Amino acid sequence: MLKKVLIANRGEIAVRIIRACAEMGIRSMAIYTEPDRYALHVKRADEAYSLGEDPLAGYLDPLRIVNLALETGCDAIHPGYGFLSENPEFARLCEQNNLVFVGPSSDVIHKMGDKTQARDSMRAAGVPITPGSDGNLSGIEEALTLAEQIGYPVMVKATSGGGGRGIRRCDTAEELTQQYPRVISEATKAFGSAEVFMEKCIVDPKHIEVQILADSHGNVVHLYERDCSIQRRNQKLIEIAPSPQLTPEQRLYIGGLAVKAAAAVNYENAGTVEFLLTGNEVYFMEMNTRVQVEHTITEQITGVDIVREQLRIASGLTLSYRQEDIAYRGYALQFRINAEDPKNDFLPSFGRISHYYAPGGPGVRVDTAIYTGYEIPPYYDSMCLKLVVWALTWEEVVARGERALDDMRLHGVKTTASYYRQILKHPDFQQPNFNTSFVPNHPELLNYSDKRHPSEIALALAAAIAAHAGW
């Protein structure tokens, strides 16, 4: 079993990993830059080391992190998600220095991070992929010719992309001519690579992803699927497990495809295989070679502690479960409560949290690193917390989601919570009958009232008085 793990991340995912380490008797080590000096992950870890003043450079410096792990006696590094979690050079550096990287091998990260290689691997394994280019595009002429062959609309994507960046939909040859250089520019700036490829655009699909676990002994299982169709500009807002829109036959088929995909590339540790579903047609989209933000809802419906399994797998142990041992019960929703103003094009709303009250009650879970008085820095992702609710039926989980969102009090910054309540009230969501176009097709949901509840006004006044009095 691992003895000491450096957590190469921050915020709620770092806190989540620290908790798993504590339960397993593994010593945890946090790293932080100056804006995170008073962050919760720094307070919770067994040890914490500063990476200096720059808010980002330290978190993105593979050599410095690996050297720090070696100097402090760590035997493993958990990358969380974001930052260096899908950087094959970081994983390779760990391998070269006999540090366990809590994730797949550097070769697998490279292969699945390169979208054209990932498509080739899935094609060879018999996993259906969307029609598109066989490799990277050589230029706009090839792009225009291919688009005519497969038919508009098409998607031009950065080969090394992720997180919704480096993607453009093109409905005509004129749009493709305009957007092609923009994708290359964004890809170069965001990922350091100008390589792009093309796929047929699947119009208004459902976004379905499957959580998998694989150990070093050849065992691969899936933990059923999540529905991530409620998204804005390719960024997920509300996630659901399992999908209330799948038939049992579709669920069995897509789960089997995910296991086949993982086995085909000799995958190890936790990962997610993402698909697009239109009618009964399923297409592989990508594989995320890390723990997902939304792993929480899979844990809620299956009872499997995914981060614990990650650490067990990294220790060389076999999976705790066989496929026949894994069942799901009920439904779970995750709301990404972001410090953003939905009424102002979701502009980030960073600042000091003057008061925070976490929702509770049956079937409610909150993963966060914020607290009353915490200053949300402007350098990182705008997510404040992940609110997760579980219930036995779809109707009950929607009602519980509304109640939990209403329970929560978060003052000092604007958040997306009120907007999510509007989504839950919409008939298409309650049906359930929605796809990736739900958010753009319903701009009227942004017309909610900003009028504050009397209890919120009282809390805001109390916070202001306390701040003035220096309490």
Is 329 catalytic? The answer is no
Mean pLDDT computed over 390-396:
98
Asked if residue 210 and residue 190 are part of one domain, the reply reads no
**pLDDT computed for residue 190 by the predictor:** 85
Instruction: Sort strands 154-158 and 196-200 into parallel, antiparallel or unpaired.
Output: antiparallel
Q: How far apart are CA 6 and CA 67, in angstroms?
A: 11
Residue in the structure block whose two tokens are 């579903």: 277
**pLDDT computed for residue 452 by the predictor:** 60
Asked if residue 418 and residue 320 are part of one domain, the reply reads yes
Tell me if 119 is assigned to some domain.
no
Model confidence at 461, in pLDDT bands (50, 70, 90)?
Answer: low
Mean pLDDT computed over 378-405:
97
DSSP at 103:
S
- Provide the residue type at 238 as one letter: I
DSSP at 242:
S
**How many independent structural domains does the chain possess?**
3
* 3-state class (DSSP) for residue 208: strand
Q: What is the CATH number of the domain that holds 51?
A: 3.40.50.20
Q: How far apart are CA 393 and CA 185, in angstroms?
A: 46
Query: Is the preceding peptide bond at 362 cis, omega within 30 degrees of 0?
Result: no
- Provide the residue type at 304 as one letter: V
Tell me if 262 is assigned to some domain.
yes
Answer with the one of 200, 228, 256 that is the final residue of a domain: 200
Average pLDDT, the chain: 95
Asked if residue 363 and residue 288 are part of one domain, the reply reads yes
List alpha helices for 114-160, DSSP H.
Answer: 115-125, 140-150
Asked if residue 298 and residue 402 are part of one domain, the reply reads yes
Residue 199 confidence (pLDDT) above 70: yes
What distance, in Å, lies between the first and last C-alpha atoms of the chain? Answer: 46
189/150: higher pLDDT: 150
Asked if residue 161 and residue 21 are part of one domain, the reply reads no
Asked if residue 213 and residue 187 are part of one domain, the reply reads no
**pLDDT computed for residue 115 by the predictor:** 87
Q: What is the CATH number of the domain that holds 137?
A: 3.30.1490.20
This prediction has a pTM of: 0.92
Q: How far apart are CA 435 and CA 207, in angstroms?
A: 7
In this structure, the chain runs to a length of 471
DSSP at 346:
T
Question: How many degrees, rounded to 5, is the angle at CA 270 between CA 361 and CA 75?
Answer: 105
Q: How far apart are CA 26 and CA 46, in angstroms?
A: 10
What's the pLDDT tens digit per position in 298-316?
999 999 999 999 999 999 9
Residue 392 confidence (pLDDT) above 90: yes
Residue 198 confidence (pLDDT) above 90: yes
Q: What backbone torsions phi and psi does residue 358 show, to the nearest 5 degrees?
A: -80, 140
Q: Is 227 left (phi over 0), alpha (psi -120 to 50) or beta?
A: beta
Tell me if 43 is assigned to some domain.
yes
Asked if residue 383 and residue 248 are part of one domain, the reply reads yes
Residue 141 confidence (pLDDT) above 60: yes
Take residue 215 and report the two structure tokens written for it.
Answer: 């150990």
Rg (CA), the chain: 22
**pLDDT computed for residue 448 by the predictor:** 94
Model confidence at 450, in pLDDT bands (50, 70, 90)?
Answer: confident
Query: Is the preceding peptide bond at 348 cis, omega within 30 degrees of 0?
Result: no
Asked if residue 215 and residue 359 are part of one domain, the reply reads yes
What's the pLDDT tens digit per position in 206-232?
999 999 999 999 999 999 999 999 999
**pLDDT computed for residue 398 by the predictor:** 98
- DSSP per-residue letters across 139-204: SHHHHHHHHHHH-SSEEEEETT--TT-SEEEESSHHHHHHHHHHHHHHHHHHHS---EEEEE--SS
Asked if residue 217 and residue 342 are part of one domain, the reply reads yes
* Inter-residue contact 301 to 224 (CB < 8 Å): yes
Residue 152 confidence (pLDDT) above 60: yes
Answer with the one of 73, 98, 123 that is the final residue of a domain: 98
Q: How far apart are CA 295 and CA 266, in angstroms?
A: 21
| Cα–chain center distance at 325 | 26
What's the pLDDT tens digit per position in 361-373?
999 999 999 999 9
Q: How far apart are CA 382 and CA 161, in angstroms?
A: 20
Tell me if 388 is assigned to some domain.
yes
Spell out the residues 6+ positions from residue 441 whose beta carbon is closer than 8 angstroms to its own: none
Tell me if 398 is assigned to some domain.
yes
Residue 467 confidence (pLDDT) above 90: no
Asked if residue 388 and residue 269 are part of one domain, the reply reads yes
Take residue 153 and report the two structure tokens written for it.
Answer: 């609309």
Q: How far apart are CA 443 and CA 426, in angstroms?
A: 12
**pLDDT computed for residue 160 by the predictor:** 84
Domain that holds residue 80: 4-98
What's the pLDDT tens digit per position in 43-101?
999 999 999 999 999 999 999 999 999 999 999 999 999 999 999 999 999 999 999 99
Catalytic residue among 290, 312, 336, 400: 290
What's the pLDDT tens digit per position in 323-346?
999 999 999 999 999 999 999 999
Burial class (CB in 10 A: 0-12, 13-18, 19+), 321: middle
Take residue 72 and report the two structure tokens written for it.
Answer: 């402090």
**pLDDT computed for residue 420 by the predictor:** 98
Mean pLDDT computed over 439-462:
77
Burial class (CB in 10 A: 0-12, 13-18, 19+), 468: exposed
Q: Which of 45, 57, 43 is nearest to 7 (CA)?
A: 45
Answer with the one of 200, 222, 244 that is the final residue of a domain: 200
* Inter-residue contact 210 to 275 (CB < 8 Å): yes
**pLDDT computed for residue 241 by the predictor:** 98
* Inter-residue contact 97 to 66 (CB < 8 Å): yes
453/83: higher pLDDT: 83
What percent of the chain has pLDDT above 70?
95
Q: How far apart are CA 103 and CA 50, in angstroms?
A: 24
321/191: higher pLDDT: 321
Asked if residue 184 and residue 219 are part of one domain, the reply reads no
